[in-house]
């Protein structure tokens, strides 16, 4: 099935949001928005779900916390009870205060890097990946809305174009794949 | 974007648009570097090479080439380490703590401050590294399985905590910095025309395309990283202070060390940010983004943290006396009156007195004064570490071991060398990286840009008379109902009143005609369109413009209606006076 992609370009974030609101109210599904900066409020308008990266970071942090605890219990208590000044490390809990700084640091280390790696993988942004923005100006001062006919079966490409024309757009482009 | 109070000064000056922001930040990257950059980087590279030479000599010969002795077994190495780590504190504080507090002014300086952090932490890590003597076994600080029996690193030791703290701090700061850089690298990639540079920035930008979902994730990642980096910032210098505080050396054995070190680190870090930013804004022509208000905000942070440091010094002195411990008392008496009194006096002058001058608004908004103070603070904070470390060690419990510390040429060479390496890295950064967070600055343009706040140029008509956005509000359907508290500038006048205004104006400034006309476009702020408007009112010469006072400006505004308040702000009359005398 052929798919027509319509790119509507705006020169202002607010104009794009207003345009998107209008189109969505007409039942059009806006597939994607390309912008040079985060546009506040666009996610709810075009139906981008809230990211769960925060939860992922928490889980990575928890993993780090457990690894640090297990590691230090093994190194300092089980494998070799270090005897400092005649005070050997008998139990993990008794020696806990000295272990807190590294436990904290390792928790932060795992949370931050786990989240960053997940972020890159989920985005598909990795070194050497090709840029996929439809127009180079979308990283400068242009805001582009992408609408696909395959996801808007109620409307034809020309219907969508007519609706886009009623918004405050600056350029309109169509691509068939 | 929240509507911001009119009382708050704009953070971005002038009539900027999104495109203008991109242009302003990318200009230095796309143009030829100025000659000064080549001169500076050559000097810095020579110093850096000398430093590397000193380090290689040190590794070859052993740390006996330093001026350390049996009594003072820690001196410049650890002083420089703590000094550099302290400097590295401002970057993540600005980007993380200020992000949580929603301080928008941070966006002008966060990128450069984070770069400074990363380079400073690299310099700091050099010192414990080379102090190990055998650099090639430095991986022994990690808890790795090994063939020496059950031999683990000591998790009870603050020195090992430091290993974890510094490496976590460095890697998390690096990731935080780079995630913010990616969208800006994409901006540069999309502007570049040469295939090679386009390719390089393409790789650096990871294929970033600015999709809505990606921005959504970007914001959460920034927020969560800021949230976990905030306690990290405080933990790092607390742990550095544990290196001293958990020992039993008089002068080190104090419980106020963690907060006192953290405040000191922020204090010195902000001073270094000021030193660098005052140069960067000037050389890269970013005065519209980093202006007096930003400098003033940072000076206030310097004042507050400097005061905390001052209180900590006095608390230490008080406790030395009040505790009644004679060793403790002697350590402090010796600091102030012993053979290193000059170091103590420099520390007290630079760190206690100089930040107090920031109470004066005139001083903290003076750029030259700020620059001088920022260097004074950096020197003072170096002496603070020197005083804490060397004066506590050189006269211990046993007078027969008393000794002095004198740096050797290797001590000095390594320290100067790190300054050189740092400068080289920073110059490379300033040349090839976007020194301002382009995408973040764009998000505050509409709330904190001068043109949007005051309603001229690109921001004209953005806010309605009732304070609502011209186009829409950002929070779904909730109404934004903040009232504008600026006076109405464009009052509709009748035809007759306008005629009256015109003749009053011409009476006051004198009339002229076409034949006497000067090129009014030479006045900054006047373009061809405005010149025509002025001519139509009857203003042709510099002499007429030079006679304008605020009343005449108001008359003019009522006639032209095009740029209310602009003539007065750009001070046309004094400009015209200058032009007349040419």
DSSP readout, A51-84?
P-HHHHHHHHHHHHHHHHHHHHIIIIIII---EE
* Residues in Cβ contact with A97 at an 8 Å cutoff, skipping those fewer than 6 apart: none
Residue length of chain A? 177
- What does residue A88 show for φ and ψ, rounded to 5 degrees? -70, 155
pTM for the whole structure: 0.81
pLDDT attached to residue B565: 64
Please determine, for residue A96, whether its predicted confidence score (pLDDT) is greater than 50: yes
Contacts with A76 from chain B: Cβ below 8 Å: 152, 155-156
In chain A, residues 61-120 whose CB comes closer than 8 Å to chain B: 61, 71-72, 75-76, 79-80, 82, 84, 89, 95, 98-99, 101-102, 104-106, 108-109, 111-113, 115-116, 119-120
Using the beta-carbon criterion (under 8 Å), do A125 and B168 form an inter-chain contact?
no
For B256, counting Cβ atoms within 10 Å of its Cβ (0-12 exposed, 13-18 middle, 19+ buried), the class is: middle
Which residues pair with residue B12 across a beta bridge? B449
For residue B563, the model assigns a pLDDT of 60
DSSP B469: B
pLDDT at residue B2 in the model: 55
3 state SS of B449: strand
What are the φ/ψ torsions at residue A37 (nearest 5 degrees)? -155, 165
Domain parsing of chain A, residue ranges: 4-49+142-176, 53-123
Q: Rounded to whole angstroms, what are the CA distances from B256 to A66, A86, B444, B482?
A: 31, 28, 39, 46
At residue B481, the pLDDT reads 38
For B60-99, what is each residue's pLDDT tens digit? 998 889 988 888 988 898 999 999 999 988 888 888 888 8
> Scanning the structure block, which residue is given the tokens 């993993």?
A63
Determine the Cα angle at A95 with ends B160 and B240, to 5°.
30
Cα gap B63→B127, rounded to integer Å: 11
B344 in Cβ contact with B335 (< 8 Å): yes
Token pair for B170: 């460095």
Distance CA B535, CA B541 (A): 9
Nearest CA in chain B to A51: B217
What pLDDT is attached to residue B474?
Answer: 44
Q: What is the pLDDT of residue B479?
A: 39
Give the pLDDT confidence score for residue B562 in this predicted structure.
59
Cα separation, B489 vs B569, whole angstroms: 14
What integer pLDDT is reported at residue B420 of this predicted model?
95
In angstroms, the CA A142 to CA A13 distance is: 8
Q: What are phi and psi of B301, to 5 degrees?
A: -60, -40
Q: What is the pLDDT along chain B (582 residues), one digit of tens a residue?
A: 456 777 788 888 888 888 888 888 888 888 888 888 899 999 999 999 999 999 999 999 988 899 888 889 888 989 999 999 999 888 888 888 888 888 888 888 888 899 999 999 999 999 998 888 788 888 888 888 888 877 888 888 899 999 999 999 999 999 999 999 999 999 998 888 888 888 889 899 898 988 888 999 999 999 999 999 889 989 999 999 999 999 888 888 888 999 999 999 999 999 999 999 998 888 888 888 888 888 999 999 999 999 999 999 999 999 989 988 888 899 999 999 989 999 999 999 998 999 999 999 898 888 899 999 999 999 999 999 999 999 989 998 888 999 999 999 999 999 999 999 999 999 999 989 999 888 888 888 888 888 787 777 777 767 654 555 554 444 444 333 334 333 334 445 667 777 777 788 787 777 777 777 777 777 776 767 777 777 877 888 888 888 887 777 777 777 776 566 667 667 777 778 777 776
Q: How far apart are CA B80 and CA B82, in angstroms?
A: 6
Nearest residue of A to residue B223, measured between CA atoms: A54
Residues 125-164 of chain A with CB under 8 A from chain B are 125-133, 136-141
Contact B143 A53 (CB under 8 A): no
Contact A173, A134 (CB under 8 A): yes
What integer is the mean pLDDT of A147-160?
82
The CATH number corresponding to A4-49+142-176 among 3.40.720, 3.30.70, 3.40.1800, 1.20.144 equals 3.30.70
DSSP label at residue B3: -
Looking at CA atoms only, how far is residue B140 from chain A in angstroms?
A: 15
pLDDT at B493: 60
CA distance A13 to A39: 7
Per DSSP, B211 falls in state B
Average pLDDT (A47-64) is 91
The whole-number average pLDDT for the span A61-87 is 88
How far A58 CA sits from the closest chain B CA (Å)?
9
Instruction: Note whether B209 contacts A132, CB cutoff 8 Å.
Output: yes
- What pLDDT does B492 receive? 52
Q: Is the dihedral of CA B285, B291, B294, B296 positive or negative?
A: positive
User: What chain B residue is nearest to A138 in terms of C-alpha separation?
Assistant: B210
- For residue A80, the model assigns a pLDDT of 82
> In this predicted structure, which of A85-89, A93-97, A166-170 has the lowest mean pLDDT?
A85-89
Residues 6+ apart with CB under 8 A from B313: B348, B351, B352
Residue B392 backbone dihedrals phi, psi, to 5 degrees: -75, -30
Chain B touched by A9 (CB under 8 Å): no
Q: How far apart are the first and last CA of chain B?
A: 46
* Strands A87-88, A83-84: pairing kind: antiparallel
**Please, what's the b/e burial string for A23-52 (b: 16 or more CB within 10 A of its CB; e: otherwise)?**
beeeebbbbbbbbbbbbbbbbebbebeebe
Residue B188 phi, psi (nearest 5) = -65, -45
* Partner-chain residue, chosen from A33, A36, A131, that has the shortest CB–CB distance to B18: A36
The span from the first CA to the last CA of chain A, in angstroms, equals 9
What the block records as the tokens of B343 is 């170091």
Name every chain A residue with its beta carbon within 8 A of the beta carbon of B443. Answer: 37-38, 40
The domain B18-142+158-448 belongs to what CATH superfamily?
A: Formate dehydrogenase/DMSO reductase domain (1.20.1630.10)
Encoding tokens for residue A36?
């040079």
pLDDT of B486 reads 39
Helices (H) and strands (E) in chain B — how many of each?
Answer: 26, 0
For A42-56, A149-163, B149-163, B399-413, which range has the lowest pLDDT when averaged over its residues? A149-163
Running DSSP on this structure, what letter comes out for residue B247? S
- A61: nearest Cα among A100, A112, A99: A112
CB contact under 8 A, B220 and A131: no
Are B123 and B117 in contact, with CB atoms under 8 Å apart? no
């Amino acid at each position: 099935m052929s798919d027509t992609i319509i790119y509507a370009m705006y020169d202002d974030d607010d104009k794009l949001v207003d345009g998107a609101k209008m189109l969505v109210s007409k039942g059009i599904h806006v597939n994607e928005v390309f912008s040079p900066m985060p546009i506040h409020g666009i996610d709810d308008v075009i139906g981008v779900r809230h990211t769960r990266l925060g939860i992922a970071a928490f889980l990575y942090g928890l993993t780090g916390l457990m690894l640090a605890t297990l590691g230090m219990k093994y190194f300092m208590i089980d494998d070799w009870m270090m005897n400092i000044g005649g005070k050997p490390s008998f139990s993990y809990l008794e020696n806990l205060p000295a272990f807190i700084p590294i436990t904290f640091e390792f928790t932060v280390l795992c949370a931050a890097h786990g989240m960053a790696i997940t972020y890159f993988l989920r985005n598909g942004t990795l070194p050497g990946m090709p840029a996929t923005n439809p127009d180079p100006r979308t990283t400068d001062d242009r805001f582009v809305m992408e609408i696909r006919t395959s996801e808007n079966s109620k409307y034809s490409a020309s219907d969508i174009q007519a609706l886009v024309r009623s918004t405050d757009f600056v350029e309109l482009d169509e691509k068939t794949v | 974007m929240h509507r911001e109070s009119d009382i708050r000064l704009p953070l971005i000056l002038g009539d900027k648009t999104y495109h203008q922001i991109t242009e302003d930040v990318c200009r230095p990257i796309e143009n030829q570097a100025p000659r000064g950059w080549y001169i500076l980087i050559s000097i810095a590279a020579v110093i850096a090479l000398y430093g590397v030479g000193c380090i290689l000599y040190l590794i070859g010969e052993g740390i006996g080439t330093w001026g350390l002795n049996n009594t003072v077994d820690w001196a410049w190495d650890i002083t420089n380490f703590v000094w550099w780590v302290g400097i590295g504190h401002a970057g993540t504080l600005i980007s993380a703590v200020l992000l949580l507090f929603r301080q928008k002014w941070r966006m002008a300086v966060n990128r450069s401050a984070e770069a400074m952090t990363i380079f400073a932490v690299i310099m700091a890590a050099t010192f414990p590294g080379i102090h190990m003597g055998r650099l090639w076994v430095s991986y022994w600080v990690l808890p790795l399985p090994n063939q020496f029996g059950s031999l683990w690193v000591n998790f009870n030791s603050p020195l090992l905590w430091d290993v974890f703290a510094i490496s976590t701090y460095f890697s998390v700061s690096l990731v935080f910095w780079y995630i913010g850089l990616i969208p800006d690298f994409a901006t540069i990639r999309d502007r570049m025309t040469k295939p090679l540079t386009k390719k390089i920035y393409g790789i650096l930008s990871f294929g970033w395309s600015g999709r809505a979902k990606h921005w959504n994730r970007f914001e959460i990642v920034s927020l969560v990283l800021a949230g976990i980096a905030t306690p990290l910032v405080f933990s790092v210098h607390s742990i550095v202070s544990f290196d001293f505080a958990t020992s039993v050396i008089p002068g080190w054995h104090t419980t106020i060390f963690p907060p006192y070190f953290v405040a000191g680190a922020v204090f010195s870090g902000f001073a270094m940010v000021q030193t660098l930013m005052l140069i960067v804004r000037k050389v890269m022509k970013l005065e519209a983004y980093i202006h007096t208000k930003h400098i003033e905000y940072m000076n206030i942070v310097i004042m507050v943290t400097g005061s905390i440091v001052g209180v900590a010094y006095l608390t230490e002195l008080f406790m030395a006396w009040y505790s009644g411990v004679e060793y403790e008392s002697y350590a402090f008496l010796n600091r102030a009156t012993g053979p290193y009194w000059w170091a103590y006096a420099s520390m007290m002058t630079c760190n206690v007195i100089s930040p107090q001058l920031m109470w004066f608004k005139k001083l903290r908004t003076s750029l030259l004064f700020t620059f001088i103070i920022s260097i004074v603070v950096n020197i003072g904070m170096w002496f603070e570490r020197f005083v804490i470390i060397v004066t506590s060690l050189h006269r211990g419990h046993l007078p027969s071991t008393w000794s002095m510390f004198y740096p050797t040429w290797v001590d000095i060479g390594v320290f100067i060398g790190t300054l050189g390496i740092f400068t080289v890295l920073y110059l490379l950064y300033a040349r090839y990286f976007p020194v301002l967070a382009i995408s973040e600055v764009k998000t505050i343009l509409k709330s904190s840009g001068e043109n949007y706040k005051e309603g001229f140029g690109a921001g004209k008509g953005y806010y309605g008379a009732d304070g609502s956005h011209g186009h829409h509000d950002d929070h779904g359907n909730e109404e934004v109902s903040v009232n504008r508290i600026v006076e109405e500038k464009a009052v509709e006048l009748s035809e007759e009143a306008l005629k009256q205004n015109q003749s009053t104006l011409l009476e006051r400034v004198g009339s002229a005609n076409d034949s006497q006309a000067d090129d009014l476009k030479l006045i900054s702020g006047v373009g061809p369109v405005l010149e025509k408007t002025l001519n139509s009112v009857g203003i042709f010469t510099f002499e007429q413009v030079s006679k304008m006072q605020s009343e005449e400006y108001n008359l003019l505004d009522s006639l032209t209606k095009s740029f209310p308040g602009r003539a007065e702000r750009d001070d046309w009359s004094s400009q015209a006076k200058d032009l007349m005398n040419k």
